[in-house]
Structure 1
Amino acid sequence: MNRQSPKSIVTDFQRAWNAHDADALAELFVKDADFVNVTGLWWTTKERIRKAHEFGFAHIFGSSTMNVGRTEIRMLGADHAVVHARVTVTGQHTPDGQLAEDRRTVFSFVVTRLHDEQGDYWRAVSAQNTDVVPGGPDTHVNSPDGQTAVRYRD
């Protein structure tokens, strides 16, 4: 693990996810962090992030595997960065226990550099996970019947 790279957040998140370890996952965040999941649920504080993932591993993602693809880092000065990563999760289960299709998302992390006796390391201040909608719609339109993916371009 390269603690000196902002990318360590993504690789360590993947490692914690694949171990289904909510405690290790939460340790990647500062105490007052924010996390917005793919459905817009917004968890504030490291402990709420831990509890949400603990539930997810127990009921939804207990046999899942996360694979990280393209990862980009944009430095915001010397001690802060935005990290984006394409992610595929396999092994999610539906509420009735059936295996769901693979889920593709883009993870966005805002990270800050911290320091301890072993040197510099990075922690997430904020994270957002965004579903990549199959078929590549331009956006969604809400109606009384629900949400529909739409294209505005040919």
Structure 2
Amino acid sequence: MPASHDTAAVTAVLEALVAAWNEHDADAYGRLFTEDATYATYVGTLYQGRRDITESHRVLFTGFLKDTRLADEVVGIRFPGPDTAVVSGRGDTYKGRRPRRLGKVQTYTLVREADGTWRIAAFHNTRRKPLMEAVSFRFAPGLVPAADRA
């Protein structure tokens, strides 16, 4: 069972990620990832390594995602080992008012590095498709996740 300070440390990394995004600070954003991290976007692009993640966000913050903010919501954190955390969540980018429903499902894998710092080793981002989800649930109710059946 993880110590509560591990949960707090992992949550702090995600809070720092949101803050770096909201400041459009690609360097601060990139420092939250391991040197060999992988980053899969919702459009299917796979970035490999901190440098690739940092530089791609430098471009995004001055282009497609200029002036956006990041919303992130942790759904759950589990620790498969003492130095590994898997975070399930929802997130989205926005301008103006924060969306009520976050349109992406995200998975972060964090590791505690030798210096004791938690960093993101892998990130995967998938866009939710509520209409397709509703249709599949209608025709195959067994597909509804257990958490949503309660």
TM-score class, shorter: 0.7 to 0.9
Report what 2:54 is aligned to: 50
Report what 1:89 is aligned to: 93
C-alpha contact 2:86 2:110 (8 A) present in aligned 1: yes
Higher helix share: 2
Separation of aligned partners in 2, 1:110 and 1:8: 14
- Name structure 2 gaps, 5 residues minimum: 140-150
Give the superposition deviation at 1:8: 2.2
2:143 is aligned with 1:151? no
Q: Which amino acid aligns with 1:112?
A: V
Pairwise CA RMSD of aligned residues?
A: 2.4
Q: Which of 4, 11, 20 is residue 7 of structure 1 equivalent to?
A: 11
Report what 1:20 is aligned to: 24
Q: Which amino acid aligns with 2:112?
A: R
Report what 1:121 is aligned to: 117
Give the superposition deviation at 1:152: 6.7
Give the superposition deviation at 1:106: 1.8
Separation of aligned partners in 1, 2:22 and 2:81: 31
2:73 is aligned with 1:69? yes
C-alpha contact 1:106 1:129 (8 A) present in aligned 2: yes
Cα separation, partners in 2 of 1:152 and 1:104, compared to 1, 3 Å: closer
Higher strand share: 1
Deviations 1:34-55 (A, max 9, x none): 1000111001010000111111
Find runs of 4+ consecutive structure 1 residues off by over 6 angstroms.
none
Q: Which of 123, 127, 132 is residue 131 of structure 1 equivalent to?
A: 127
Q: What TM-score results when the alignment is normalised by the length of structure 1?
A: 0.74
Separation of aligned partners in 1, 2:104 and 2:59: 20
- Name structure 1 gaps, 5 residues minimum: 93-101, 140-149
C-alpha contact 2:74 2:87 (8 A) present in aligned 1: no
Deviations 1:13-45 (A, max 9, x none): 111111111111100111111100011100101
User: What percent of counterpart residues are identical?
Assistant: 26
Report what 1:110 is aligned to: 109
Separation of aligned partners in 1, 2:105 and 2:111: 20
